[in-house]
Chains A and B, each alone.
Chain A
Amino acid sequence: GQQLNQSPQSMFIQEGEDVSMNCTSSSIFNTWLWYKQDPGEGPVLLIALYKAGELTSNGRLTAQFGITRKDSFLNISASIPSDVGIYFCAGQRQTGANNLFFGTGTRLTVIP
């Protein structure tokens, strides 16, 4: 199945630094979602984006839905140790449809 290209694959940062990751696709999506997954757990929804150009924040997290509808980015400001985990982007062709296409993930390590 189609997978989205997510970069970087992994990041090692110092606590307090800002983080940026992005996701690109060859196809257009109508919804972009960002999830975080901790070991042994399912993905947890962080931010949902429904409109091209939309910029949405959730605490220290900010995500944007690209104008072309083929990309999205996620920023984390002032990282803390509990930000450690794998971050996945996911695209949805039809809002409300459950067949999400997931990215390959970005593994974030925060060094205290």
Chain B
Amino acid sequence: ETGVTQSPTHLIKTRGQQVTLRCSSQSGHNTVSWYQQALGQGPQFIFQYYREEENGRGNFPPRFSGLQFPNYSSELNVNALELDDSALYLCASSSPGQGKSPLHFGNGTRLTVT
């Protein structure tokens, strides 16, 4: 069983730039969600994708957007990067239709905005 994989592992961007992070869900999982984890904090929910549509969103501005593809992989896009966007971005997958299906996380992408 293949776990959640994310790329790249590390990324450095400049304020105002745009970034795309990628995630492959765990085998058999059809739902993907993204979390932002600032240093020393717990992860915060950004949004969730199911059947290629966003179906849940946390308290993040519209410059955070995403996509889900037919193979259930996903992208997180962040426009107009700000210094406070520096964080570990975690992708997690699950399959809620199969009953109890807790989230399984990838190892994240460490984004640094300078």
A: residues with CB less than 8 A from B are: 1, 3-4, 31, 33, 35, 40-45, 48, 50, 88, 90, 95-105
Report whether B43 and A99 are in contact in the complex, using a CB–CB cutoff of 8 Å: no
Interface presence of B44 (CB below 8 A):
yes
Please give, as numbers and ranges, the residues of chain B lying within 8 Å of A35 by CB-CB distance.
105
Knowing A40-B107, A42-B105, A42-B107 touch, does A1 contact B43 (C-beta < 8 A)? no
- Please tell me if the beta carbons of A97 and B58 are within 8 angstroms of each other in the complex: no
Q: Give A105 to B92 CA distance when docked, in angstroms.
A: 18
Listed in ascending order, the chain B residues whose CB lies under 8 Å from chain A are 4, 31, 33, 35, 40-45, 48, 56, 58-59, 90, 92, 94, 96-97, 99-108
List chain B residues, Cβ under 8 A from A1: 44-45, 58-59
Contact A99 B56 (CB under 8 A): yes
Whole-angstrom distance between the Cβ of A72 and the nearest chain B Cβ: 14
Contact check: which of B40, B48, B56, B102 meets A48 at CB < 8 Å? B102
A98 and B56 contact, CB distance less than 8 A? yes
Query: Which of B58, B99, B100, B106 is close to A42, meaning CB atoms less than 8 Å apart?
Result: B106
- Distance (whole angstroms) from the CB of B59 to the closest CB of chain A: 5
A41 to B1, CA, bound (A): 19
Chain A residues whose CB sits within 8 angstroms of the CB of B108 once the complex forms? 41-42
Q: In the bound complex, do residue A33 and residue B102 qualify as a contact, i.e. CB atoms below 8 Å apart? A: yes
User: Which residues of chain B come closer than 8 Å to A3, judged between CB atoms?
Assistant: 41-42
Greatest chain B CB density within 10 A among A33, A35, A48, A98 is at: A98
Shortest 6 CB-CB contacts between residues of A and residues of B: A102-B42, A96-B96, A42-B105, A98-B33, A98-B48, A99-B45
Beyond the given A41-B107, A42-B108, A100-B45, please list 6 additional residue pairs across the A-B interface where CB-CB is below 8 A.
A1-B44, A45-B102, A88-B43, A99-B33, A101-B45, A105-B41
Write the nearest CB–CB distance from B36 to chain A, whole angstroms: 10
Q: Are A100 and B107 in contact (CB under 8 A)?
A: no
Cβ–Cβ contact B105 & A43, under 8 A: yes
Give B56 Cβ to nearest chain A Cβ, in Å. 5
